[in-house]
Structure 1
């Protein structure tokens, strides 16, 4: 294992110290916790809180700031944060208009965030939750009952963060969120596995000439392993799978989000979206939003994911393009 770290046991703490040092004009950390919260205050507006295990940087701390998340709760690598830390994030983020928890659909995350919600509600906090399950690759994966929550979660952060900044109520924002999760779908491909620092070896094995469709962001199994293909062929496979899920029609409005999984350079991501664009043009879809970059990673996994969002509400496009002040969304 080759990594620029010190003691593997201190990876989270040292990473968060470095993150808050660099981004001190935007965020602070609650001492002794994995909670990153924004300095910017919006009194009377709904707070948006998310989080999960670390190893997916810049998710989720990189999206804390004006226009997106009010706070993020960072657990140990690939491990859900604890309920007590989530509760602290809820209290710190609350601006007297309620808190919406955005949860990726993993059993540990769902259990701990729901427990934190119950604890906060006992203290008279107004808290709602939204579970994101955008990964169409497999159902009932290693850590999941149902579909996994992956890169599409970031689009939920972006849209609901803008809705909060616009002044919508907690009930209104949750209603938008429930509609959103039905219209965001993601599928990925891995070329090489991730190595968790404390484990010291890859989470699974792929030969040099192999790739796997549908691998999860923690290295969970996908739906097919085969010899590595060209970007054009990979794009065709992923777009075909998404088409089956959306059953789109000519003229439908969509947003496209290509996400690198950690070790895939932007060069390859741009080659890939070029191939995707040609395929979507053939389908005669209207593309109103595009984003490329490594936003929901899996430590050092090579590969990428493709997320499509059907923009059934024109306001969603406005929200996606709404300016924010965060370290990761630019």
Structure 2
């Protein structure tokens, strides 16, 4: 077995060490190191709906890199590929409660769903705060998997957090912000592939074996194997494998789309732009008009080489919220 090469100290402390790095690099954030929660420094914002997300570490910049004005108010960091515990979620929810209620944005993985649900019940019982949840489940690769009942929450989660964050920043009600999040999730679909597996620091070896000359299509973000293994393909062929199942699952021809090509952690931007061009070509031939784009590693799987494609069917409201200012470590535009 090849020796694991990672820029870490002790595999057992990698999440805690990374959070100290976040605190040092981003004084505009506040890190609760005991509970492992990243807050925007001004949380709670009085009168604004609080947005909380989180999940296992290893997907950076999701979720902690999306904390800040225009996006999340707090993010809980679990161990690598492991759900945060309810105590973390309770601390995050209480810490962003500005009196207008709190929205949990939860990827559809069993541990995340159960723990966020428990935290919401605890906060509601203790303080009377209204807490709503929106579960993201945009992955068309599988209906059920090792981690989920139903579809997995993957790249669409980034778009949901951005759009809901913009709605909350406008001062909308909890019900309105939740409706925006659900609308974004309902209109988004994703599909991913891997060229290599990833290596969890504590394990020290690849999560699954992927021989040279092969790639895995339909992977999740925790190193789960995909729906099929195929010979290594060109970018044009790979784009077709990712886009075709998305277009087969939802009609994207009637409205503009946000097109998101995501890197899984070890794929350079050079290759992601090659892939984006192929995706754009397929969409044009299919009568799908791209209105906005996002290219880069925004929801990763440690050191996995690979990519995913997310399409989000948009309307005027979605595009306006997408264009609204956002100031986070991982996503930043506008004034």
TM-score interval (norm. to shorter) = over 0.9
Verify: 1:159 aligned to 2:163, yes or no: yes
Equivalent residue number for residue 51 of structure 2: 48
After TM superposition, the runs of 4+ consecutive aligned structure 1 residues lying more than 4 A away are: none
Output the CA distance in 2 between the equivalents of 1:2 and 1:286: 42
- Unaligned runs of 5+ residues in structure 2 are none
The CA deviation at 1:4 is: 1.1
CA distance in 2, matches of 1:149, 1:278: 26
Displacement of 1:140 in angstroms is 1.1
Question: How many residues are paired up?
Answer: 327
SS in 1 for 2:195: strand
The residue aligned with 1:127 is 131
2:77 to 74, 77, 101: 74
Q: Aligned partners of 2:175, 2:101: CA distance in 1, in Å?
A: 9
For the 8 Å contact 1:36–1:72, the answer to whether it is kept is yes
C-alpha contact 2:141 2:226 (8 A) present in aligned 1: yes
Residue in structure 1 matching 2:286, options 279, 283, 287: 283
Partner of 2:322: 320
Alignment root-mean-square deviation, CA: 1.0
Q: Distance in 2 between matches of 1:192 and 1:85?
A: 32
Deviation of 1:247 (Å): 2.7
Q: Is the 8 A contact 1:134 1:148 kept in 2?
A: yes
TM-score computed with the length of structure 2 as normaliser: 0.96
Matches within 5 A, 1:252-267: 252-267=255-270
Deviation at 1:179, TM superposition (A): 2.0
Of 113, 116, 137 in structure 1, the residue corresponding to residue 116 of structure 2 is 113
Segments of 5+ residues of structure 1 without an aligned counterpart are: none
Contact 1:40 1:65 in 2 (8 A): no
CA distance in 1, matches of 2:289, 2:197: 35
Q: Give the whole-Å Cα distance in 1 for the aligned partners of 2:301 and 2:147.
A: 15
Distance (whole Å) between structure 1 residues aligned to residue 218 and residue 119 of structure 2: 31
Q: Is 1:293–2:296 an aligned residue pair?
A: yes
Q: Residue in 2 aligned with 1:59? A: 62
Per the normalisation by structure 1, the TM-score is 0.97
Structure-2 separation of matches of 1:206 and 1:125: 47
Offset, 1:287: 1.2
